Amino acid sequence: MNIVVLVKQVPDSEAMVQLKADRSAVEVEDKYTLNFFDSLAMEEALRIKEQVGAGKVTVISLGTQKSVEALRTGVAMGADEAVLLEDPAFEGGDEYTTAKALAQAIKEMKYDLVFCGREAFDDSSGAVGPLVAEFLGIPHITVVVKVQVSPEERAVVVEREIEGGKEVIRTPLPVLISAQKGLNEPRVPPVIGVMKAMRAEIKRLNLDALGLSPDEVGRAGAKEEVLRYYRPPERPSVTMLEGEAPDVVRELVELLKEEAKAI
């Protein structure tokens, strides 16, 4: 079973995000981590490889030097290979161009399964996974909480989370699956894995290696353009209600009715 895992290095929840003066970009405090949902994807890939007893797990990311950290985390957990798509031409891209480049790289690999996280913390989009599947011409299943692979039948049965319930879906391989919380508990990389990851070779692929043209990637190929960033509107400061509980509760109901018009 050959499995490719898409990963992204994203700012930590606690990281400060500042706007540049002209609002054209943001500056993020240097606190990064492997995207939480990607760690679930990584874990599931490793478990499937262990269960099947053969194959290879390749972890792949598009980005700059920072993404190497996400790849090394993947290797530390147990991935066999790490690939970084890196080229100045990729800068300023969107989900479309990211997926295009990732799919182009995966096309050249042998793969049965592609895993990714439900969404990335920074853009909360969740579009890259389905787009990669579209560009690869394979089916995809998102927000997955359970995976059962039958290697002999070359098929997979998965459970995905829907509003208020679950869906069970069967599909032949290859397929792209996006991981949702509840799928598994990601392992903490063992010390020996961390040592291995520090020395691991990161294979780098640039624009030429992928065989894409400069106008298909980065800002030139992007469909979505950020016009401006800004701070969300600030909530007015809190009104603290004080006193005996019955009085406070009466006051709250009155405020919700008259001031907030929320009930």
Partner 1 sequence: MSGGVWVFAEHQDGRIRKVALELLGKGRELAEKLGLELAALLFGSGVDGLAKELTLYADKVYQWDDPLLEKYNCDVYLQLLSDLAVKETPQILLAGATVLAKDLFPRVAGRLSTGIAMDCLDLELGDDALMIARKPFFGGKVWADVACREGRSQIALVRPNTFPVPTASGDITGEVLKQAVEVDPTQVRLEVLEIVRAAKERLDLTEAEVIVTGGRGMKGPENFQLLEELADCLGATVGATRAVVDSGWKPHDDQVGKSGKTVSPKLYFAIGLSGAIQHIMGMDTSKVVVAINKDPRASIFQYADYGIVGDLFEIVPLLTSELKKELGKR
Name the 3-class secondary structure at 122.
coil
Piece in contact with partner 1 (CB under 8 A), picked from 8-16, 45-53, 84-92, 201-209: 8-16
Question: Which of 56, 109, 123, 194 forms a contact with partner 1 (CB under 8 A)?
Answer: 123
Element housing 218 (H / E): helix 218-221
Window 192-251: residues binding partner 1 (CB under 8 A):
222-232, 235-236, 238-242, 245-246, 248-250
Nearest-approach distance from CB 262 to partner 1, in angstroms: 4
**Sole residue written with tokens 């972890």:** 59
Binding footprint of partner 1, residue count (CB under 8 A): 82
**Do strands 140-150 and 175-179 pair parallel, antiparallel, or not at all (unpaired)?**
parallel
Nearest-approach distance from CB 146 to partner 1, in angstroms: 12
Q: What are phi and psi of 119, to 5 degrees?
A: -165, 165
At 89, list the tokens.
Answer: 């031409």
Q: Does 188 bind partner 1 (CB under 8 A)?
A: no
H helices of 57-214, where?
67-77, 95-107, 128-136, 191-199, 207-210
Give the Cα separation of 77 and 56 in Å (integer).
Answer: 13
Instruction: Please identify, using beta-carbon distances, which residue of 54 and 238 lies nearer to partner 1.
Output: 238
Q: Would you give the binding string for partner 1 spanning residues 16-45, x where CB under 8 A is met?
A: -x-x------x-x-------xx--------
Give the Cα separation of 219 and 97 in Å (integer).
Answer: 8
Q: Does 139 bind partner 1 (CB under 8 A)?
A: yes
Determine contact, residues 177/165, Cβ cutoff 8 Å: no
Nearest-approach distance from CB 164 to partner 1, in angstroms: 5
Q: Does 141 bind partner 1 (CB under 8 A)?
A: yes
Instruction: Please identify, using beta-carbon distances, which residue of 172 and 211 lies nearer to partner 1.
Output: 172
Give the Cα separation of 257 and 133 in Å (integer).
Answer: 49
Window 38-77: residues binding partner 1 (CB under 8 A):
none
At 162, list the tokens.
Answer: 């829907």
Question: Which of 22, 53, 165, 192 forms a contact with partner 1 (CB under 8 A)?
Answer: 165
Nearest-approach distance from CB 80 to partner 1, in angstroms: 27
